[in-house]
Amino acid sequence: MKVPILLPNIFNYPFTYQSDINLKVGEYVIVPFGKTKMVGVVWNHFEKKNEKNFHLKKIIKRLKINPLNEKTIKFLNWFSQYNLIPKGMSLKLHLLSNEAIEEIPDKEFESYRLVKNKYDFTLSKEQEQSLDELKIKNKEFRVHVLQGTTGSGKTIVYFNSIKDKIDKGYQGLILLPEIGLTSEFEKKFIDFFGFIPAIWHSGITKKKKKIIWNGLTNGKIKVVIGARSALFLPFNKLGIIIVDEEHDQSYKQDEGVIYNARDMAISRASFENIPIDLVSAVPSIETYENIKKRKYSYSRIFNRYKNAQLPKHQIIDLNKYKLNNQSWISSKTIEKAKNHLESGDQVLFFINRRGFSPYVFCQNCLKVYSCPHCSINLVYHKNKKKLLCHYCGFTTTLKRTCDRNISGSCKFILSGPGVEKIFEEVKNFFPNYQTLIFSSDTMNKKKSSKDLQKIINNEVKILIGTQLISKGYHFPNLNCIVVLDIDLSSPGHDLRGAEKNLQLYHQLSGRAGRTGKPAIVYFQTYNLKSDTISKLTNSDPFVFLENELQLRKKNNLPPFERFIALILASKDEKKLENESHRLKQHLVKNLNSKILGPINAPIYKIRKNFRNRILIRSKKSDIIQESLSFVLKKFKFSPGMKLTVDVDPISFN
Ligand SMILES: [Zn+2]
Ligand SMILES: [Zn+2]
C-alpha cells in the first residue's frame, strides 16, 4: 500500500512511501530519506499534487508506540496553517529531537506513581464556588477563566478540577510560564496529589524527556507541568488543560518557530474537545474581551487566602525628597524602609534592569558603549566585570582606546541604575542587613534554591529584584516593596506596553503581605500628575482593561484587527532595502489587505543582521494566513535574505 509519511523537516507536506504491512494513521515509522533514516508519522492526507509515478521507497519499520491520535494530527495541521509554519516543523515540535521513544522500562515510571502523604486542603466558600463553576460543562470543549487576586488560592481550585479528571482516567496538562516552574510549585503539587508530576521544560535531561514522552503515549504518566513546548507532547488521553498566568507574555515564543502557546493551547483543547481553564490575577486584553463577549465563561475569587489584605500604595514625591547626585533612593524612602526593617519585615527594592549600569559612555569622546553586532547599548555588569549585550550575549571588558583623549584610554561614566548599583547604594545605608540581588543573573544557578530558602526564612532582609521576582514566589515576610523605576519603565516599541506594566506591578504587589501583616508598596516618582500609578494600582484591574480595550477599538488595534508581521533580515543593508520594497509591492498586488511598511525595525541590527518590518493588517474575521502563505510561496527571495513571519505579534522590536 501507499502511505503518506510526514517527516520532521522543513517540508509542508507528507512524502509518499510504499509499505508491505497495513499501516494506520498516526503510527510511528522509520523510513529512508536521502542518505539517512528518519522517524515519521503516517499522516492523514497525501501531498496534493504528487501525481508523478516515480519509484517509491519502502518503509523500514513500524515502531512499537501507541499511534498519535487523529485529533492531535488535526491540531498539528491547523497549527502549521495558522502560524505559517511547514507541517514538518510542527511535527518536529512533537518529536524529541527527531526521535519517537519506544518502550521504557516500567520502573522508570515508578516515581510518577508513588503515593506520598497527601495534605488536606479545605476550600473557602469562594474557592468552593469557583470549583463548582469550573465543573459546569467540563465534558467538552469550553474556555473558562478563573480570575483571582494574587494569593487567593487559584491553584488549589484548579488542582481539584484536574483531580476530578484524573480520577476518571484522563491525563492533565498544566502550562506555566517557564519562569514560574519553581520547586515551590512542584512541592504544592505533591502535597495535593500525593505523587510527583512530570516536569517539562527546555532544561530537563534528555533521559527525563524520553521517559515523559513515552509515559504519556502509554498513559503511565498522568499530569505534566510544563512550559510552552509541553503543548506538543503525545498525550494518550488528554482530559483537561490549564494555562496558569495566561496573561504572561512569555507564552509567546518569538524566536525560531513563532507561536503563542496560550492561544495554541486553546485550539488544542478545541481539537481534543476537552475543557481548558485560563488562570490569572489580571487577564490579558484578549481574554478580557472574550469574557465580555461571553465567549469564555468566568469566575472570580475576591479574597486572599486567610483573608490577608492586599498591600496599600504610597507615593514618594521626588520633587520634595530630592535624589542626591548618583543616588537613586530618596531619604524619605530610606526612612520608610528602615521602619519596616526594624519591625522585622523584609524589604524589596524593585528595579527592572539587570546589571550595574545600562548606559556607559566616555566623558572625553562621548562615545556610548554599544554592541558591535546589534544596535543596542551594552550593559555594564560589575559582578562579572564585563559589558554585556542582552540580545546576542556579546561581552567585552571596560577598556577602549579614546579618539579624543591624548593619554589613550576612554574615561568612562557609568550612567543610569541597574540592580547591582542599587545593591551598592542599599548596602551603604543598611550595612548590617543581609542583602541579595534577585535577577536572572543571580538566581539561575544551583545555589539559588538555598538563597530562596534564606528569603523564605527571613534570613535575607533586603532584596533587590528585577521582574523575575514578580513571578509566583511566596515570601511570607515581604511586607514592603519600593518601586524605584516607575518613571523609567517606558512602554517602548510595544503595543502592549501599558498592559505589560499593569501585569508587572499587579504581580509585584501580589508578592507583598501574603501572611496577613499589613504591607505597603511605595512608588518613587516625579510625575504626581500622571494617572499611571493610580491606574496601575487600582484594585479592580477591569477598570484599566476596559479603558485599554476602548483605546484599541478606537485605533483598530488587536484584538479588533488581525496583525501579521513580516520581518526581513540580511547582513547586506542595501539588499535588504531593495528586497523589502520588492516584497511589499508583491504583497500589495496579490493580497487583499492593508500592507504597512517596510520600516527599519526599532532594533535595526541584531546579531549582525539588519532588519526591516512589514505589517499586514486585516479584519479579525478573515483568516488570511492561507492566501498569505500562497502569495509568499510565489515570491523568490534572493540568497542571504531571511524571512520571519510573526502571526499576532506582541513585540515590535
Ligand atoms: Zn549584541
Ligand atoms: Zn573616549
Question: What is the CA(387)–ligand 1 centre distance, in A?
Answer: 11
User: Quick count: other Cβ atoms within 10 Å of Cβ 625?
Assistant: 18
Q: Tell me the CB-side half-sphere exposure of residue 233, using CA atoms within 13 A.
A: 36
pLDDT of residue 51: 58
Q: What are phi and psi of 43, to 5 degrees?
A: -90, 170
Position with higher pLDDT, 18 vs 47: 18
pLDDT in tens, 45-59: 998 776 566 788 999
pLDDT of 208 over the 90 cut: yes
Query: What is the distance between the alpha carbons of residues 222 and 217, in angstroms, rounded to a whole number?
Result: 11
pLDDT of residue 608: 95
Ligand nearest to the CA of residue 371, numbered in listed order = 1
pLDDT in tens, 619-650: 887 779 999 999 999 999 999 999 999 999 98
pLDDT of 121 over the 90 cut: no
Closest by alpha carbon to 169, among 212, 223, 132, 121?
223
Question: What is the CA(620)–ligand 2 centre distance, in A?
Answer: 52
Ligand nearest to the CA of residue 608, numbered in listed order = 1
Question: What is the CA(610)–ligand 1 centre distance, in A?
Answer: 12
Query: What is the distance between the alpha carbons of residues 23 and 25, in angstroms, rounded to a whole number?
Result: 7
Instruction: Name, in order, each residue with C-beta under 8 angstroms of 424's C-beta and a sequence gap of 6 or more.
Output: none
Ligand nearest to the CA of residue 403, numbered in listed order = 2
Question: What is the CA(529)–ligand 2 centre distance, in A?
Answer: 39
What amino acid is encoded at 345 in this protein?
Answer: D
pLDDT of 504 over the 60 cut: yes
Query: What is the distance between the alpha carbons of residues 82 and 576, in angstroms, rounded to a whole number?
Result: 26
Question: What is the CA(261)–ligand 1 centre distance, in A?
Answer: 27
pLDDT in tens, 532-586: 777 777 777 888 889 889 988 998 889 999 999 999 999 999 999 999 999 999 9
Closest by alpha carbon to 229, among 207, 212, 247?
212
Question: What is the CA(361)–ligand 2 centre distance, in A?
Answer: 8
Band (pLDDT 50/70/90 cuts) for residue 146 is: very high
Question: What is the CA(368)–ligand 1 centre distance, in A?
Answer: 14
Contact assessment for residue 475 and residue 511, using Cβ atoms and an 8 Å cutoff = yes
Closest by alpha carbon to 383, among 349, 426, 420, 438?
420
Cα torsion angle, 437, 438, 440, 445, sign = positive
Query: What is the distance between the alpha carbons of residues 127 and 66, in angstroms, rounded to a whole number?
Result: 38
Residue 280, H or E segment = strand 275-280
Query: What is the distance between the alpha carbons of residues 649 and 647, in angstroms, rounded to a whole number?
Result: 6
User: Quick count: other Cβ atoms within 10 Å of Cβ 434?
Assistant: 12
Question: What is the CA(324)–ligand 2 centre distance, in A?
Answer: 26
Question: What is the CA(566)–ligand 2 centre distance, in A?
Answer: 39
pTM of the model: 0.90
Question: What is the CA(390)–ligand 2 centre distance, in A?
Answer: 23
621: buried, middle or exposed (CB in 10 Å: 19+, 13-18, 0-12)? Answer: exposed
pLDDT of residue 50: 60
Q: In the predicted model, what is the mean pLDDT of residues 170-179?
A: 91
Contact assessment for residue 172 and residue 165, using Cβ atoms and an 8 Å cutoff = yes
53: buried, middle or exposed (CB in 10 Å: 19+, 13-18, 0-12)? Answer: exposed
Query: 159 — alpha (psi -120 to 50), left (phi > 0) or beta?
Result: alpha
Q: Tell me the CB-side half-sphere exposure of residue 171, using CA atoms within 13 A.
A: 25
Closest by alpha carbon to 485, among 500, 499, 503, 465?
465
Closest by alpha carbon to 1, among 56, 66, 60, 69?
56
Ligand nearest to the CA of residue 367, numbered in listed order = 2
Band (pLDDT 50/70/90 cuts) for residue 446 is: low
Band (pLDDT 50/70/90 cuts) for residue 495 is: low
